[in-house]
Structure 1
Amino acid sequence: MGRIVRTPAARRVTPRAGVTVTDRNWARDLRAALLCAGLLFALVMTIDAANSTLTPVRTALWTGLSLLLYAVLHPPRVTAGPGRLAVRGLGRRRHVCPDLLVSARRAEGVSPRLVLRDALGSRVELDPKILTSNPLLWHALERGAKRALANGLLVTGGEVLRDLGARMDTEAAQEIFEASGLNSPSSTRP
């Protein structure tokens, strides 16, 4: 039999065993959070200096306010490695074992969250957009969830993960159609 040869493109899409996959947008989101906090600090300090109302107390107040804004905007860092999906926030790090998932649910609110629990009692919350914009992270979670479902562990939330996967597939197909020009109004038939 012939040997399967992987192209460089195929190696980028399929993670190797033992490789840690990271959110590819995290650095950009971190820079945006730092920029917003820095711009707020510079703006209020400039206004105070222009009005001659800058004092050490006000400087401390504006510093605290800028740090608070940064803390709110700080993006969680999501990584997936062998047997784990980790979410690291500003002050804590939580992880679940996708192979041991027992539940997955959507938490609606100001921003939708995906809440995952495993058989070891660990729990993580993350924005589903992180998974939709990082196919390798989604692949790691989906692969583990399928194992958990096959082993009878994933008792609630399988439909949530299927819906998320279907939405990702639809968005990917739409992007492919748009890139190829198949989705343009001129290509539709009466």
Structure 2
Amino acid sequence: MGRRITHTGTGAGGTEAAPDGVHDIHWSGERISALAVAVLLFTALFAVDVGLGSLDVTRGAVWTGLSGLVFVILRPSRVSVRPGLLSTRGTLTTGTVRTDCLVSVWCSDGVSQRIILRDTTGGRVEIDPNVLIRNPAMWHRFDDDTRTSIRRGTLRCGATALRQLAERIDRETARTVFRVSGMPRPPLSPGSRS
């Protein structure tokens, strides 16, 4: 879990830090979806027990606890970016990193892709790369600050990962533009993946 950092004054670009910054615009909908899944699970388990005549206080408590656990697992962390800072707030954890003083950026592959960020103060945060992909304002702020880290020479590991993430965001943006405009998508270059 990263340390909580208070950041006041001017941001990386010399502009005044907005108190709220830029938030994931899809977080609220994902939270509602997680709640809906938990409620649906509780309702289904409760209905089966009522139908079988086996519902009692113990089973009701177990189904309530199980549904609550499903919600905690599915509820996404709230990610926000403001000049010089990226913060996450989950159900049980919070973390903040200085994006203008990053030391490393590491992308994990697999079923659940994550970007792990570490800063010079020891802060550590993990985020889903899709949060940056689907929030252009957030990506723009984050990209500006990571460039500051590179200029300052603090980023020792992760420039390649950042470049790959930028290329992925560019591809997703191009796909979205072609889809919205109704134009056919250009053929993929030999080295790119769909």
Q: When the two structures are superposed, what TM-score results if normalisation uses the length of structure 1?
A: 0.85
Return the letter of the residue paired with 1:131. L
Q: Which residue of 2 aligns with 1:32?
A: 33
Query: Residues 80-113 of structure 1: CA distance to partner in whole angstroms, max 9, x if unpaired?
Result: 1132100111012101010000100012233010
Q: Which residue of 1 aligns with 2:71?
A: 70
Residue pair 2:22, 2:138 contacting (<8 A) in 1 also? yes
- Which segment drifts farther, 175-184 or 57-66? 175-184
Mapped partners of 1:57, 1:139: distance in 2? 51
Residue pair 2:75, 2:91 contacting (<8 A) in 1 also? yes
Return the letter of the residue paired with 2:17. G
Residue correspondence of structure 1 range 11-160 to structure 2 within 5 A: 17-19=16-18, 20-160=21-161
TM-aligned CA deviation for residue 184 of structure 1: 6.1
Mapped partners of 1:89, 1:102: distance in 2? 23
SS at match of 1:104: strand
SS at match of 2:100: helix
Aligned residues with identical type, % of pairs = 38
Query: Residues 131-155 of structure 1: CA distance to partner in whole angstroms, max 9, x if unpaired?
Result: 1001111111111110010010111
TM-aligned CA deviation for residue 175 of structure 1: 2.0
SS at match of 2:92: coil
- Point out which structure has higher relative CO (alpha carbons under 8 A, 6+ apart): 2
TM-aligned CA deviation for residue 61 of structure 1: 0.7
Mapped partners of 1:35, 1:85: distance in 2? 28
From the CA coordinates, give the structure whose radius of gyration is larger: 1
TM-aligned CA deviation for residue 17 of structure 1: 4.5
Aligned CA distance change for structure 1 residues 64 and 175 (closer, same or farther; 3 Å): same
Mapped partners of 1:182, 1:47: distance in 2? 49
SS at match of 2:154: coil
**Runs of at least 4 residues of structure 1 off by over 6 A?**
none
RMSD, aligned α-carbons: 1.5
Query: Residues 1-50 of structure 1: CA distance to partner in whole angstroms, max 9, x if unpaired?
Result: xxxxxxxxxxxxxxx85231000000000000000000100111111011
Between Structure 1 and Structure 2, which shows a larger proportion of helix residues?
Answer: 1
Q: Which runs of 5+ in 1 are unaligned?
A: 1-15, 186-190
Return the letter of the residue paired with 1:118. D
Q: Which runs of 5+ in 2 are unaligned?
A: 1-14, 187-194
Aligned residues: 170
Query: Residues 154-177 of structure 1: CA distance to partner in whole angstroms, max 9, x if unpaired?
Result: 111011111111111122122222
